[in-house]
Amino acid sequence: MWDSSMFLSTLTPKFYVALTGTSSLISGLILIFEWWYFRKYGTSFIEQVSITHISPWISGESRDDNGNNNLQSAPPQIPECKVWRNPLNLFRGAEYQRFYWATKKEPLTFYDMNLSAQDHQTFFTCEADAGNSEYETMQIAWRERAPCDRIKHAHEAIEANPECATAYILLAEEEATTITDAEKLFKQALKTAEVNYKRSQALQHQGTLMDAQHRRDTNVLIYIKRRLAMCARKLGKLKEAVKMFRDLTKEVPPIMNVLNIHENLIEVLLEMQAYADVQAVLAKYDDISLPKSATICYTAALLKARVVADKFSPDVASKRGLNSAELQAVEAIHRAVEFNPHVPKYLLEMKPLILPPEHVLKRGDSEALAYSFFHLAHWKAVDGALNLLHCTWEGTFRMLPYPLERGHLFYPYPTCTECADKELLPTFHELSVYPKKELPFFIIFTAGLCSFTALLALLTHQYPELMGVFAKSVVNWMSLPVYYIYEKIESILPPNLLQQLIRI
């Protein structure tokens, strides 16, 4: 038999220096290439090749001419990230400002407030305002950055015209320090808004300016009614809030596409624990042709979880499997988590909540905050719902190993959410990013291999004889199992067979 000790004794220290140096160089080149590929494509080259080519070859998966099951195939068109107005946005004076007084931290970013200013100018101003001092003053007020300047201009507009409803809106939003005060101002605004609406409705067909004024008065009236309904919700007048929100959902002006009032209605009905009514609202808005939101997806999951959550046990389910109701609940949770994967950590209180922004990015951290801020209590109200969520939500990520390239029920996860959420959320909030670009295993492995071989090369260069002895000891130690197996085989099989195999 070949004697390894005789072969090792012939090797000089220079051989060990050259061997370790070459190994270190090769592993270093692999590490550099892996790091470059990861920086450019967001995945490990070795992992990509393994999944794309080796794994299908071993498992026998086939690929069609359209590139299905191929990670290199072109992803479907991803819709552009659009910022939406938060349907449950808080009151600046009665809520955001009080938070600032208590913490000395700004709850809203300039970008978020600037978006609100643009919304106000779009819906509360029109071409017919030219020449009317009160409305021109309000145009200036919406553009002011300092709250005190906006409030000052609103008072000037009311002095010029006591029927300036938009001025009352600004005062209710920013000057009122309690919800009760805000409600009083909105009720005052409602009276003037209804008068202005009826007046412009009668004149809307007398030219483009009058038509624009009527559209503005319609927007003002709907906005005031919505905020009054939100005041009623916050003051505990739930039945009154439900009636107002139901009436508003029957309206059809363009502003309704922005306000998403059905999400306000869902939240109030959940507070009342009127789950049958919530299901009826979902049946209308959770349609394949309508845009989704965290409220829609997670409320659907909550209703399905409510059926099984109180009796759900992960140990029992793992033994007997999931029944049909539990399977539906788990699938609904997976659907919700795929739509917005940031929500579960807030619902499970693994991340702290902050005040939600005035605008949200669907599927982003901002939407997750806005949803969880109001709906955490509703999940806690359903016995076992959070436990079911805790046991099942992470399974979604195993279904979506490459969320940026493909989705299961929705479009691939947008890549623009991190940048938009940074603009929407304050700096003191730790931004939730999905998917996190963690270093792949093969980059960590090659980095460790490179460091280890470089250390061996350095030690071999400094102490060649000692490292030679060490290498011989390691090789002899590793060869012991081989010798042991060889001796066992030799004792069992006839010697001529082994000689014939050695010749072959």
Does residue 64 form part of some domain? no
Angle between helices 385-392 and 365-381 (to 10 degrees): 130
Query: Once rounded to an integer, what is the mean pLDDT over residues 303-321?
Result: 85
Same domain, 237 and 280: no
Quick check: 276 pLDDT over 80?
Answer: yes
Give me the domain span that covers residue 111.
90-259
Residue 359 has φ and ψ, to the nearest 5°, of: -130, 150
Same domain, 245 and 99: yes
C-alpha–C-alpha distance, residues 118 and 142, integer Å: 8
Residue 82 CB-density burial (10 A; 0-12 exposed, 13-18 middle, 19+ buried): exposed
Query: Once rounded to an integer, what is the mean pLDDT over residues 249-273?
Result: 89
Quick check: 1 pLDDT over 60?
Answer: no
Quick check: 417 pLDDT over 70?
Answer: yes
Same domain, 109 and 250: yes
Angle between helices 464-492 and 495-503 (to 10 degrees): 130
Same domain, 123 and 156: yes
Does residue 68 form part of some domain? no
pLDDT of residue 344: 96
Quick check: 495 pLDDT over 70?
Answer: no
Same domain, 403 and 481: no
pLDDT of residue 74: 39
Bridge partner residues of 360 (DSSP): 84
Higher pLDDT, 62 or 284: 284
Structure tokens at 439: 């270093």
How confident is residue 61, by pLDDT bands cut at 50, 70 and 90? very low
SS3 (DSSP) at 415 = coil
Quick check: 496 pLDDT over 80?
Answer: no
Same domain, 390 and 402: yes
> Which runs of E-coded beta strand occur in 424-464?
none
Does residue 275 form part of some domain? yes
Q: Which of 1-5, 151-155, 199-203, 329-333 has the lowest mean pLDDT?
A: 1-5
- Residue 181's contacts (CB-CB under 8 Å, 6 or more residues apart) are 94, 172
Residue at token pair 């009514």: 277
C-alpha–C-alpha distance, residues 418 and 415, integer Å: 7
Does residue 12 form part of some domain? no
C-alpha–C-alpha distance, residues 302 and 376, integer Å: 11
pLDDT, one tens digit per residue, over 332-391 is: 999 999 999 999 999 999 999 999 999 999 999 999 999 999 999 999 999 999 999 999
Does residue 78 form part of some domain? no
Q: Which of 19-23, 66-70, 322-326 has the lowest mean pLDDT?
A: 66-70
Residue ending a domain, among 235, 259, 283, is: 259
Same domain, 187 and 250: yes
CA 324 to chain centroid, in Å, comes to 29
Does residue 240 form part of some domain? yes
CA distances for 204 relative to 193, 210, 212, 215, angstroms: 16, 5, 8, 9
Quick check: 291 pLDDT over 90?
Answer: no
Q: Which of 1-10, 155-164, 466-475 has the lowest mean pLDDT?
A: 1-10
C-alpha–C-alpha distance, residues 504 and 500, integer Å: 6
Same domain, 113 and 190: yes
Quick check: 326 pLDDT over 80?
Answer: yes
Does residue 69 form part of some domain? no
Same domain, 302 and 382: yes
pLDDT of residue 76: 38
pLDDT of residue 64: 42
Amino acid identity, residue 429? H
C-alpha–C-alpha distance, residues 391 and 395, integer Å: 9
| CATH number of the domain bearing residue 238 | 1.25.40.10
Winning range, highest mean pLDDT, from 50-64, 87-101, 433-447, 464-478: 87-101
Number of C-beta neighbours around residue 190 at 10 A: 18
Bridge partner residues of 85 (DSSP): 359
Number of C-beta neighbours around residue 486 at 10 A: 13
Amino acid identity, residue 327? L
Residue 222 CB-density burial (10 A; 0-12 exposed, 13-18 middle, 19+ buried): buried
Query: Once rounded to an integer, what is the mean pLDDT over residues 132-139?
Result: 90
How many alpha carbons fall within 13 Å on the CB side of residue 260? 23
Same domain, 326 and 220: no
Quick check: 252 pLDDT over 60?
Answer: yes
pLDDT, one tens digit per residue, over 184-212 is: 999 999 999 999 999 988 888 888 888 99
Does residue 375 form part of some domain? yes
How many alpha carbons fall within 13 Å on the CB side of residue 498? 11
Residue at token pair 């070459």: 22
Query: Once rounded to an integer, what is the mean pLDDT over residues 424-441?
Result: 81
**Contact of 55 with 43, CB cutoff 8 Å:** no
**Contact of 379 with 372, CB cutoff 8 Å:** no
Same domain, 112 and 219: yes
Residue at token pair 């209703």: 303
Q: What is the largest CA-CA distance in the chain?
A: 115
Same domain, 340 and 384: yes
Query: Once rounded to an integer, what is the mean pLDDT over residues 144-166?
Result: 92
Short-list 213, 353, 377, 360, CA closest to 302: 377
pLDDT of residue 315: 79
Residue at token pair 């049946």: 283
Query: Once rounded to an integer, what is the mean pLDDT over residues 476-500?
Result: 71
Quick check: 5 pLDDT over 60?
Answer: no
Quick check: 39 pLDDT over 60?
Answer: yes
How confident is residue 33, by pLDDT bands cut at 50, 70 and 90? confident
Quick check: 55 pLDDT over 60?
Answer: no
Give the H/E segment covering residue 85. strand 83-85
Structure tokens at 168: 């009352």
What is the chain's mean pLDDT, rounded? 83
**0.85 surpassed by pTM:** no
Sign of the torsion angle spanned by Cα atoms 197, 198, 204, 206: negative
pLDDT of residue 270: 96
Quick check: 158 pLDDT over 70?
Answer: yes
Residue ending a domain, among 215, 235, 259, is: 259
Domains held by the chain: number: 3
Residue 182 CB-density burial (10 A; 0-12 exposed, 13-18 middle, 19+ buried): buried
